[in-house]
């Protein structure tokens, strides 16, 4: 069986090879026909919810919402660096409801997620949090404050550093990734 035509079609349509055709058909049905998450300009999982997609700035190879159950509230903006991944059921919450008027959202600085980050399953990133490059957020963590230095593994509620990553190894990896 020749995979060349499939590869050519995927390239022409800009479809990611790690995602099945079923993913794209489901995305088309929910986003284009049923108009669920219709403001999102990239393919997402049909169980993801993204508010204010136009306020998300995403880097190279970043597809927020391609995992099931992701909830993104980008009212105050979200920036996600190159090659960062967001796992299933993650919450990115750039705004809190006002304490007095529950119909209003408080203004806040945007969430910033660095390059080569991984946000694990069921983690939550709260308003104004900034994560530096190569930050890994463990499953179920609740990140309430910034870790701008990056190169670390965060776990818990509230999240705390449990491991520092070797910055030279991370930068060598990033250089190789860019060259490939």
Sheet arrangement for strand 71-73? 49-51, 71-73, 91-93, 124-125, 142-143
Residues pairing with 113 in the sheet? 80, 131
Distance between CA 129 and CA 165 in Å, rounded? Answer: 20
Annotated catalytic residue within 45, 46, 51, 97: 97
Kindly state the DSSP code that residue 81 receives in the 8-state scheme.
-
Peptide bond into 58 cis (omega under 30): no
Distance between CA 153 and CA 136 in Å, rounded? Answer: 5
Question: Is 97 noted as a catalytic residue in this protein?
Answer: yes
Task: Return the active site residues.
Answer: 97
């Amino acid at each position: 069986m020749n995979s060349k035509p499939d590869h050519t079609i995927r390239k022409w349509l800009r479809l990611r090879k790690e995602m099945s055709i079923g993913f794209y058909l489901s995305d088309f049905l929910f986003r284009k026909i049923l108009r669920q998450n219709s403001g999102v300009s990239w393919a997402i999982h049909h169980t993801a919810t993204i508010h204010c997609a136009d306020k998300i700035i995403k880097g190279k190879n970043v597809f927020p919402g391609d995992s099931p159950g992701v909830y993104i509230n980008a009212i105050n903006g979200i920036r996600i660096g190159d090659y960062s991944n967001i796992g299933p059921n993650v919450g990115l919450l750039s705004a809190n409801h006002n304490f007095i008027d529950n119909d209003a959202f408080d203004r806040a600085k945007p969430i910033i997620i660095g390059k080569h980050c991984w946000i694990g399953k069921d983690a939550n990133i709260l308003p104004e949090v900034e994560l530096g490059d190569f930050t890994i957020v463990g499953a179920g963590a609740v990140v309430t404050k910034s870790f701008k230095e990056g190169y670390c593994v965060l776990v818990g509620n509230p999240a705390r550093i449990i491991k520092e990553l070797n910055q030279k190894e991370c930068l060598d990896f990033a250089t190789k990734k860019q060259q490939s």
